[in-house]
Amino acid sequence: MRKLLMLALFLGITTFGWAQKNSPIGIWTNEEKEARFEIYQCGDKLCGKIIWLKEPNRNGKPKLDQLNPDPKLQTRTIMNMVFLKGFEPEGDGKWDDGTIYDPKSGKTYSSYMKLLGNGDKLEVKGYIGISLIGRSQIWTRVN
């Protein structure tokens, strides 16, 4: 019985590690390493929030979403902001039909995410209209 329990525990841990590599759920950093993001399950979709900033403050106070076109949102902090929303699995390590909000410009873009290599890199692309035109960034898995 004890051997069976140990085997089940081992398989559970191994499967969890494999599942994480085949999913963008986890902690990521951008190319500049100026921020970290947590991608998580929100309902049946994926979302993401900013969980760490290299420079979280401006003039001794938390950075705010000052460029947001909605005046009601201009006083919210950048930290813990949900900026990725609505990503659905499309297959082959790709999640599509999401949006990404850029607090540096105050703009929201259509977006997709695609795992690269062994699952430690994530291509995140924001675009307007069609995905052929837009800007991509490669994020690195932290955890």
- What would be the CATH architecture of the domain defined by 2-141? Beta Barrel (2.40)
Give per-residue pLDDT as tens, 22-61.
899 999 999 999 999 999 999 999 999 999 999 999 999 9
Residue 8 has pLDDT above 60, yes or no: no
**Cα diameter, the chain:** 62
pTM for this predicted structure: 0.83
**Res 20: pLDDT:** 53
Confidence of residue 1 (pLDDT cuts 50, 70, 90): very low
**Res 11: pLDDT:** 37
Confidence of residue 17 (pLDDT cuts 50, 70, 90): very low
| Residue range 63-80: mean pLDDT, rounded | 98
**Res 132: pLDDT:** 80
Give per-residue pLDDT as tens, 75-126.
999 999 999 999 999 999 999 999 999 999 999 999 999 999 999 999 999 9
Contact 54, 29 (CB under 8 A): no
CB-neighbour burial class of residue 65 (10 A; exposed 0-12, middle 13-18, buried 19+): middle
Tokens of 46: 């994926």
Contact 133, 125 (CB under 8 A): no
Cα angle for residues 26, 30, 34 (degrees, 5° grid): 115
**Res 10: pLDDT:** 40
Q: Domain-by-domain residue ranges, the chain?
A: 2-141
